[in-house]
Amino acid sequence: MPLDIDFVRRQFPALADGFAYFDNAGGSLVLGSVADRVRDYLLTTSVQTGASYRQSQAAVSRLAESRQRIALLLNAARAEEIVLGPSTTVLCQFLARAMEGRLNPGDEIVVTDFDHESNIGPWRALEKRGIVIKTWDLDPDTFEIDLEALDRLMTDRTRLVAVTHTSNILGTINPIAEIARRVHARGAEIAVDAVAYAPHRAVDVQALDVDYYLFSFYKTYGPHFAVLYGKYDKLLELDGLYHYFYGRDKVPMKLEPGNTNYELAWGSAGIVDYLQALGGGKDDRTSITRAFDDIAAQEAALAERLLSYLRNRNDVRVIGRRSSEAADRVPTIAFKVEGRDAAAIVTEIDRHEIGIRFGDFHSRRLIERLGLSEGGGVVRVSMVHYNTIEEVDRLTASLDRALA
């Protein structure tokens, strides 16, 4: 069955304003049901957990249920593998800090030049402790990565490889399972930033065999909140970030200093309810994967509509793969227009009640590597499944006028 786009759009109240939202990689719209859950928690269960009275026990149950639902979303083996926090940026910093006690001068961490800075900066900051940072480079001509180049970078001192599942500029889906296999073969661990991937495809951390996996719910139809998955045995080995009496075995709470945000956890769990409803209505993992199959098909159609327009313009360079195939990319599409300032193009599109964006999107190292910093960086159109072909046609008509 094709995606029920009418059902989908009814779940996002903001779409009623008629605006075409194409800045979803910066932050997606929020499900009405998620907002309802946050409101309900605040008005009925806004007490501290851990006490013996009934309302506190209800709060404990809701937080536990939230972890279980989010674990189902990621196909984690157990709820204790779910660490919750304010954002992917913060959780990456937490992870780097919690790993410090296991690292010695001369140990190596591999980062990339094609990640969001959130999964680069915290690791580079460990250089002050004597950690050797190596960079896995993207080919600036093809926009592709070389797995053998990663093999050459790793040694017996490599402790971690930090990489993105999908670039928030290129939109390319990287082969994380294969990367993880190569990393583990060298005895190292892998940390994956999935912010630009998770809104578009079903996540299965067990199938990927990743050690750590992070993304933000506010880019996945939820509130400003985020998740760090870690294999349970890996989380046990990390240093605690909370009070001294939170022992090493107090997972995941030892990695959630000051406690997590209960109402946002409860709200974020509503994303799972939506996906299950979209995928057939059963409270299981199959409904989630079925929903994302339909989402991928819808998004491939959207991507092809825009890419076919861009491919036919001689003055436009698509930054990334030109294919719209769901296996190749998500519908986050960046481009550069010859001789035109990216900011001026976007400002013109604003006038037509269409939201796109320009800049480097906190992937500055990539933009600099590609030589695209001048002229306001790149123009980015980032779509999700609630967008429509008609909205894409509105955008391309507006681009025709702006680029005339």
What does the alpha-carbon distance between residue 320 and residue 382 come to, in Å, rounded to a whole number?
Answer: 13
Tell me: do 227 and 197 sit in the same domain.
Answer: yes
- Per-residue pLDDT tens digits for 316-340: 999 999 999 999 999 999 999 999 9
204 in Cβ contact with 355 (< 8 Å): no
Task: Name the band, by pLDDT with cuts 50, 70 and 90, for residue 199.
Answer: very high
Q: What does pTM read for this prediction?
A: 0.97
280 is a domain residue: no
CA distance 186 to 105: 19
Residue 288 lies in a domain: no
The pLDDT > 90 percentage for the chain reads: 99
Q: How far apart are CA 63 and CA 155, in angstroms?
A: 41
Residue 139: pLDDT band (50, 70, 90) is very high
pLDDT of 230 higher than 60: yes
Closest residue by Cα to residue 38 from 262, 321, 232? 262
What spatial distance separates the first Cα and last Cα of the chain, rounded to whole Å?
40
Domain of residue 163 covers 34-274
Region 376-382: mean pLDDT is 98
Whole-number pLDDT of residue 2: 82
Average pLDDT, the chain: 97
Instruction: Please tell me whether residues 239 and 321 are part of one structural domain.
Output: no
Pairing of strands 108-112, 20-21: unpaired
Cβ(20)–Cβ(353) below 8 Å:
yes
Whether residue 283 lies inside any domain: the answer is no
pLDDT at 215: 98
Same domain, 259 and 331: no
Q: Is residue 174 part of a domain?
A: yes
* Gap between the Cα atoms of 27 and 355, Å rounded: 12
Predicted pLDDT at 245: 94
Report, as an integer, the average pLDDT of 247-272.
Answer: 96
Do 332 and 251 share a domain, yes or no? no
Same domain, 56 and 146: yes
For the chain, the domain total comes to 2
Binned at pLDDT 50, 70 and 90, residue 1 comes out as low
pLDDT, residue 391, reads 98
Q: Report the pLDDT averaged over residues 220-245.
A: 97
Q: For residues 42 and 74, state if they share a domain.
A: yes
